[in-house]
Amino acid sequence: MLRLENIKIFEDLEESEIIKKACIKYKIDYKKVKNYSIYKKSIDARNKENVFYNYTIDVEYDGKIKSKNIKEVKKESFDININVKRQNNIRPVIVGSGPAGLFCALLLVKNGIKPIIIEQGKKVEDRKKDLDLFLQTGKLSNTSNTQFGEGGAGTFSDGKLTTGVNNPLGRIVLKEFVNFGAPKEIMYINKPHIGTDNLIKIIANIRNYIINNGGEFLFEEKVVDIEIDDNRIKTIITKDMSNVRQESLKRIDTDTAIFAIGHSARDTFEKLYSKGLKMEKKNFSVGLRIEHKQEDINNAQYGNKTKLNLPPAEYKLAYHGKNHSCYTFCMCPGGVVIASSSCNEEIVTNGMSNFLRDGENANSAVLVNVTPDDFKGTSPLDGVYFQKDLEKKAFDLGGRNFYAPIQLVGDFFQNKKTTKLGKVKPTYKPGVTYSNLQEILPDFVIDTLKEGLKDFDKKIKGFADNDAILTGVETRTSSPVRIIRDENTLMSNIKGIYPCGEGAGYAGGIMTSAIDGMKCAIKILENK
């Protein structure tokens, strides 16, 4: 297997034509290429006068190699070598069916272990109906919404599969997504994404595979308590959320519980803390969503000279101030700002795109880092209360009807209420309220946002345009809590409990959550 790198392509071509150009560059005979696969594909737009695709291609070659600059590589394997020692018949319980919970369950069933997956929300198809109803009417389900339900919070986002973590499990996660219906290009494009429309189908396929191999899902079952005996998990107690009029509790005995609860399961954090699980505060971020015309972002990033049929442009920006940093997060090309509340009397925003990213606007979170020094209190849950306070203020400012408060960037700089819109139209549903967002934000957030927006405008022309729209608030970018676990066993101080994924403080997105779920599964399989 030969790896052909730095293949520059300046026009839209079929794959076979790209391979031919790679062969010409490296002086190999195209007729003797037995097989090939694209390993990497990225856009180089540093020179707006000459934008091109940069490819890395792996080829199986049955000829003589003339160039000395060709790497030889082994054919990629997606097998995981696990020394399975678990033999008891007690079924592990996975709390939460986001990427951490699903990929933990997936690896367990592939190795003969049949977990029970508990999810307070609904299966993803029904969850989509509840979210659509909320966006149309403002009627919120507290257990089936943008945050809660099968697939986790990342389902209704852009489906980004980027990660800064260099872990071989990452490639396996991507391959599994492809196996369950994701486009094969996520294996090689520089910034892979699936899109909400694809994720809904893929998650259902993963669920069906787990069920067909012995796993069991309990939807609309909420963990309300746990029982511990001799410092070890003994029983999970759940409540049937489909029948709120009847107190229907279920007891599930287990010696292994994976808590992959997501960053918004605040009452579960409180319950676990009351039961003696060690927790600590951690850094997180808060801020706003910003919307621009996607066409303006395309022109700023690509220029207008290229003949390539390029995808909607992305960006990733950071500014480091004296005391705090500002950065963009979860940028959604051609997407919408999505209502992400999970409880009454709170406003939370996020971004969402379908796979084609063909909407009129681009949006991104613009965030300021928050440390435990930025809020009072001695409880490890104080970060949760800081988030809740901002969300309640946004709810009040928006009109107490799940309308989000919005403000033009120009008005934000002048500290005045917005009274009319410019060229950018807001995408948030169920509706928006013209506001002055400075009324609800802490001073350090306001000051750092202003500094960051000015800095970003130097990097992307028009980023701080007066007509760009700010929507408040974005608070759920990561968990403000870490449930402490042993680095070797991945268990908490209570034996048999595995804090897992983003909610537990060990991941930050779909990819790292899925990786962490697999890491916990491996530890469970290797533990007698």
pLDDT reported for residue 238: 97
Q: What is the pLDDT of residue 164?
A: 81
Most distant CA pair in the chain, distance: 76
- As a whole number of angstroms, the distance between CA 464 and CA 458 comes to 9
Closest listed residue to residue 271, CA positions, set 375, 345, 381, 348: 381
Which pLDDT belongs to residue 106?
98
pLDDT-flagged residues of the chain (< 50) = none
Residue 87 within a domain: no
Same domain, 144 and 64: no
Question: Could you give the CA distance from residue 476 to residue 364 in angstroms, rounded to a whole number?
Answer: 14
Look at residue 411 and tell me if it is in a domain. Answer: yes
* DSSP tally for the chain: helices H, then strands E: 11, 23
Note the pLDDT of residue 75: 87
122 lies in the same domain as 245: yes
195 lies in some domain: yes
Omega of the bond prior to 426 within 30 degrees of 0, cis? no
What pLDDT shows up at residue 307?
86
Amino acid occupying residue 207: R
Radius of gyration of the chain (CA): 24
Same domain, 172 and 32: no
Which residues of 89-215 form beta strands (DSSP E)?
Answer: 93-95, 116-119
Task: Give domain status of residue 83, yes or no.
Answer: no
Closest Cα partner for 488 from 517, 528, 519?
519
**Residue 84 belongs to a domain:** no
Q: Which tokens sit at 69?
A: 């600059």
Query: Do 252 and 176 belong to one domain?
Result: yes
- Give the pLDDT score at 110: 97
The alpha helices in 213-293, defined as continuous H runs, are 266-274
Taking each helix axis from N to C terminus, what angle separates 196-212 and 99-110, rounded to the nearest 10 degrees? 30
**Residue 246 is part of a domain; what is its CATH number?**
3.50.50.60
Is the same domain home to 270 and 166? yes
Cβ neighbours around 127 below 10 Å, total: 26
Look at residues 23, 39, 72 and tell me which one is the last residue of a structural domain: 72
Q: Compute the mean pLDDT over every residue in the chain, rounded to the nearest whole number.
A: 96
* Residue at which a domain ends, from 474, 491, 508: 474
Q: Are residues 104 and 133 in the same domain?
A: yes
**What is the SS3 string spanning 69-89?**
CCEECCCCCCCCCCCCCCCCC
DSSP string across 156-186: GS--B---S---THHHHHHHHHHHTT--GGG
For residues 110 and 41, membership in a common domain is answered with no
The residues, ordered by sequence, that sit 6+ positions from 373 with a Cβ below 8 Å of its Cβ are none
Q: What pLDDT is stored for residue 259 in this prediction?
A: 98
One domain for residues 197 and 345: no
Q: Which CATH number belongs to the domain containing residue 10 in this structure?
A: 3.30.70.2700
Q: Is residue 273 part of a domain?
A: yes
Planar angle of CA 192, 157, 115, nearest 5 degrees: 85
Question: Residue 253 sits in which domain range?
Answer: 93-280+479-525
Residue 444: Cβ-neighbour burial (10 angstroms; 0-12, 13-18, 19+): middle
215 is a domain residue: yes
**Whether 9 and 38 share a structural domain:** yes
Q: Is 23 part of a structural domain of the chain?
A: yes
Do residues 168 and 237 both lie within one domain?
Answer: yes
pLDDT given for residue 64 in this prediction: 87
Burial of 528 (0-12, 13-18, 19+ CB in 10 A): exposed
Please tell me the predicted confidence (pLDDT) of residue 330.
95
Domain total for the chain?
A: 3
What pLDDT shows up at residue 68? Answer: 80
Same domain, 363 and 430: yes
Instruction: Specify whether 251 is located in the same domain as 366.
Output: no
Alpha carbons within 13 angstroms on the beta-carbon side of residue 72 total: 6
**Which residue, among 97, 127, 147, has the nearest Cα to 339 in the 3D structure?**
147
